[in-house]
Structure 1
Amino acid sequence: MITLPRIMLAALVVIGSYVFVVAPRVDAYTNPSAQWSPQVVEPRPTFTLEPPVPGRRPQGFPDAGTAFFGIFTEKGPGDLTDYNGFVQAAGKGPQVMMFASGWGAQKHFDRQPFDRIVNRGMLPMLGWEPWDYRAESKTDKDRGTQPQYRLSRIAGGAFDAYITEWAKGIKDLGYPVAIRFAHEMNGYWYPWCESANGNQRGDYVAAWRHVHDLFAKLGTKNVIWVWSPNVVYENATPLSQLYPGDDYVDWVGLSGYYGTAGMETYQTFDQIYRPTLAELKRISQRPIVVTETAATDAQGRKAEWITDFLRSLPKHPEIIGFLWYESIKETDWRIAATPAASSAFAQGVAQPYYTARWSPDMVPRTTLPSTASASATPSASASRSN
């Protein structure tokens, strides 16, 4: 998440052949009342999951040869204003919706936001964040300092009761949920980054595996585990040092924006993503999801970037979907912000490649096209728990 102090810090390091591109601060959890209002009571989903038929291969999500698109908003499922504007601008609805939940503020599991997303035909993706955003430092270099949430404490069992409550709650939902746990760990701006908060090398993998194993021990099989770094930049923690392994990950996520603060010079899809995609190819065989992306219009090239982005994804079959950050934060990231951006996005997702649909009985794709023998395989989490 980029801020002016971070730009000043980045200026002190030598930039390589690509530009240091990080995600903007999208603290969707800074206003938890906007995330979910106690007055909103969402009915439980009414679908019925059919038992598997012997010999019949379940349909994959997304199906082979397609990609999904999703949405992430500042206010989450508690306020669907930006979601509604996004659907209108795109000309059709997304298949995934992500919302954030911080451990320090959201003390107990609540199924309401999950149900609200599923009732609108989307896979819920939980951005699960082990910190207290309310105690966040306003000094950028200290933002990742919260000793209570040190990775060694997570791995050591200090939060086991909390994790267990959420694991049981998600299990009881009865439909799939993607969990993007402790994202952008290769940076320095969160307490779970190995370069921050007194964490040591190896602590991130230990914490990830501990959380994952608690879910597996409780038989919570309906989770798609999303490991989601930031696009690589000079002096970032190496991804190979942070990857828990394919046995602990179902999808690899990725944050990458065009036009974060102070970096409005136009950058193509390849300039932003290619170095990271090359690095990921060396450490993981899991499909990739761009879990956060958006574009600025500071130079009047937002529509151009959207067109380039949506034309580039089909050239990368390892990328099975993306989520757009549809909110006003540092700038107006919304596709609904201008007719040109709306038109570019609508035309882009009208391509046959973006015809994925989601339903609760679909099985997430967890293998790359080059290694997949079918369009769908059981999720890694499910197979490990059997």
Structure 2
Amino acid sequence: MRLPKLLATVLAALCLALPASITAAGTPAQAAPAAITLDPASGPAGTTVTVTGTGFPKKSPGTLSAGANAVPFTASASGYFTAALVIPESADPVVPVTAASGRVSASAPFTLTYSSPSAADPAPEPAPAAAPEDGSATSTAPSAPQPGTSLLRFGVGTPGGPLASAELDEVAALAGEAPSVILSYKDFNQAPPLAELEAARSRGAMVLLTWEPWAWGGGTSQPAYALDRITAGDFDPYLRQWGQALATWGHPVMLRFGHEMNGNWYPWSEQLNGNGPGDYVAAWRHVHDVVASTGAANVTWVWNPNVPYWGSAPLTALYPGATYVDAVALDGYNWGTSASWSTWVSPSQLFGQGLAELRGLAPGKQILIGETSAAEQGGSKAEWATSLVGYLAAQGDVTALTWFHFNKETDWRINSSTAAADALRSALAARRG
């Protein structure tokens, strides 16, 4: 039976007006709701909290707020962001932390343990175990600081990485606290290090995973790993393998791809390996997008240059942009007089210019010190360690320092001298209050 012309016209208009989000089964297609998590989720007023958000409008700006304190953020291509925010004083025991972008918002509670760091005395911590005189590792590491008692996280890189329990226990004994950030290094021939990520997580730490686009031992001329080959898709199956593995693992991981790109000692430098201007940014964006396409929203993308120096590539031409970077970092070493070309520099001389440039390039993003240490030659490493922790702890947007505990070009280790180890341990204890 044919419908009257008017009724048919009305029905056709209604069909055209149906939202595109209605599926064939008649059920609206729902995107994952926006959500945020806080690390830590409790502590005193003045605590710097790392906020991780998912499900926000892609590549869109937003505002993260707690009381009168607010910082901007920009969601990545997968709707992910991470940002640091200081919790203000409040008469209420719970401070809502809210992230908003357009009409999308999400909140999470931060529980105040006391009104300010001086309002109550925390329970005394047990004395850290002393390092054995023979240099062997201790069997039990001191516990990590309680959430909220430290504004600056302590991290470490050791030769064995996150699986080297004895090395990490020794560092914890030397520093008086367990590191909450652990460095790891992988080249483009290695599988996703899920065992390392899980080992760090079991210690209450997060991995700062350094992903290097080259083959170890191949030198700085490796045409197969030229930046334009990465952008062209030569490594896409490998990138997807990593993305899928990290997404399946599902816990937070900090991924720093192609670090120290402004120098001239790695083949991903635009000054080497047939690379040219703009190649680094293009490669970074491509790697980011391929990994993000696998659903790896648990990845914090860390853009990590070396501290600027005379002759280094300008950072402005190497920054991929706010929508492709979740956190920024600096690597910097005080070589003292250990090399023929080097002189002693203070922490502020070493990091001051780089921090200023990062804040200009990436306002509102948290800053990490990805690698640092000092030589013994040319000055007092003990005084330098004390100054370093004090200087970085006073920077409200610097969330972590990672000590390079290697005896490599020179003895960068925490315990290159007893005085240096004692000074770092005391400085870390002082910044806990």
TM-score w.r.t. length of structure 2: 0.64
Q: Relative CO higher for 1 or 2, CA cutoff 8 Å, sep ≥ 6?
A: 1
- Is contact 2:149-2:432 (8 Å) kept? no
Q: Match of 2:206? A: 123
- Is contact 2:376-2:416 (8 Å) kept? no
- Is contact 1:86-1:334 (8 Å) kept? no
Q: Match of 2:238? A: 162
Tell me the CA shift for residue 55 of structure 1. Answer: 4.6
**CA spacing shift, 1:277–1:79, aligned 2, 3 Å:** same
Partner SS state of residue 152, structure 1: helix
Candidates 334, 350, 363, aligned match of 2:429: 350
- Is contact 2:158-2:406 (8 Å) kept? yes
Q: Match of 2:381? A: 302
Q: Match of 1:109? A: 192
**CA spacing shift, 1:270–1:263, aligned 2, 3 Å:** farther
Partner SS state of residue 208, structure 1: helix
Q: Match of 1:244? A: 320
**CA spacing shift, 1:330–1:168, aligned 2, 3 Å:** same
Partner SS state of residue 321, structure 1: strand
Tell me the CA shift for residue 347 of structure 1. Answer: 0.8
* 1:185 counterpart = 2:292: no
Paired with 1:174 and 1:232, the residues of 2 have a C-alpha distance of: 35
- Is contact 1:89-1:335 (8 Å) kept? yes
- Is contact 2:162-2:207 (8 Å) kept? no
TM-score w.r.t. length of structure 1: 0.72
- 1:189-204 to structure 2, matched below 5 A, reads 189-204=265-280
Q: Match of 1:56? A: 108
* 1:68 counterpart = 2:153: yes
Paired with 1:58 and 1:257, the residues of 2 have a C-alpha distance of: 36
Q: Match of 1:90? A: 175
Paired with 1:114 and 1:65, the residues of 2 have a C-alpha distance of: 23
Paired with 2:192 and 2:357, the residues of 1 have a C-alpha distance of: 35
Q: Match of 2:217? A: 134
* 1:331 counterpart = 2:331: no
* 1:78 counterpart = 2:163: yes
Paired with 1:64 and 1:252, the residues of 2 have a C-alpha distance of: 23
Fraction of identical pairs, as percent = 39
Tell me the CA shift for residue 63 of structure 1. Answer: 5.9
Paired with 1:207 and 1:354, the residues of 2 have a C-alpha distance of: 40
Q: Match of 1:230? A: 306
**CA spacing shift, 1:221–1:58, aligned 2, 3 Å:** farther
What is the CA deviation profile of residues 41-97 of structure 1, one whole-angstrom value per residue up to 9, with x for unaligned ones?
Answer: xxxxxxxxxxxxx753368x9869711110111221233333222111111111110
* 1:320 counterpart = 2:405: no
Q: Match of 1:4? A: none
> How many residues are matched?
292
Q: Match of 1:216? A: 292
Tell me the CA shift for residue 111 of structure 1. Answer: 1.3
Paired with 1:238 and 1:208, the residues of 2 have a C-alpha distance of: 16
* 1:150 counterpart = 2:226: yes
Tell me the CA shift for residue 270 of structure 1. Answer: 1.3
Which amino acid letter does the alignment assign opposite residue 203 of structure 2? R
Paired with 2:398 and 2:266, the residues of 1 have a C-alpha distance of: 26
Unaligned runs of 5+ in 1: 1-53, 137-143, 356-386
Q: Match of 1:290? A: 369
More helix by share: 1
Partner SS state of residue 317, structure 2: helix
- 1:5-24 to structure 2, matched below 5 A, reads none
What is the CA deviation profile of residues 200-247 of structure 1, one whole-angstrom value per residue up to 9, with x for unaligned ones?
Answer: 111111111111111221111000110000010112110000001111
- Is contact 2:208-2:254 (8 Å) kept? yes
More strand by share: 2
- Is contact 1:269-1:309 (8 Å) kept? yes
**CA spacing shift, 1:354–1:218, aligned 2, 3 Å:** farther
**CA spacing shift, 1:58–1:162, aligned 2, 3 Å:** farther
Paired with 2:369 and 2:397, the residues of 1 have a C-alpha distance of: 11
Which amino acid letter does the alignment assign opposite residue 111 of structure 1? L
Tell me the CA shift for residue 282 of structure 1. Answer: 1.9
**CA spacing shift, 1:153–1:280, aligned 2, 3 Å:** same
Paired with 1:190 and 1:110, the residues of 2 have a C-alpha distance of: 22
CA-atom RMSD in angstroms: 2.2
Tell me the CA shift for residue 149 of structure 1. Answer: 0.5
Which amino acid letter does the alignment assign opposite residue 352 of structure 2? R
Q: Which has the larger radius of gyration?
A: 2
Paired with 1:186 and 1:62, the residues of 2 have a C-alpha distance of: 35
Tell me the CA shift for residue 318 of structure 1. Answer: 2.1
Paired with 1:55 and 1:276, the residues of 2 have a C-alpha distance of: 33
Paired with 1:124 and 1:294, the residues of 2 have a C-alpha distance of: 19
Unaligned runs of 5+ in 2: 1-105, 112-145
**CA spacing shift, 1:147–1:265, aligned 2, 3 Å:** same
- Is contact 2:150-2:432 (8 Å) kept? no
Choose 71-80 or 147-156, whichever is displaced more. 71-80
**CA spacing shift, 1:311–1:217, aligned 2, 3 Å:** same
**CA spacing shift, 1:306–1:65, aligned 2, 3 Å:** closer
What is the CA deviation profile of residues 316-349 of structure 1, one whole-angstrom value per residue up to 9, with x for unaligned ones?
Answer: 2121111000121122211123221111111111
Paired with 1:273 and 1:248, the residues of 2 have a C-alpha distance of: 24
Partner SS state of residue 270, structure 2: coil
Paired with 2:401 and 2:421, the residues of 1 have a C-alpha distance of: 17
Which amino acid letter does the alignment assign opposite residue 127 of structure 1? T
- 1:36-47 to structure 2, matched below 5 A, reads none
- Is contact 1:171-1:222 (8 Å) kept? yes
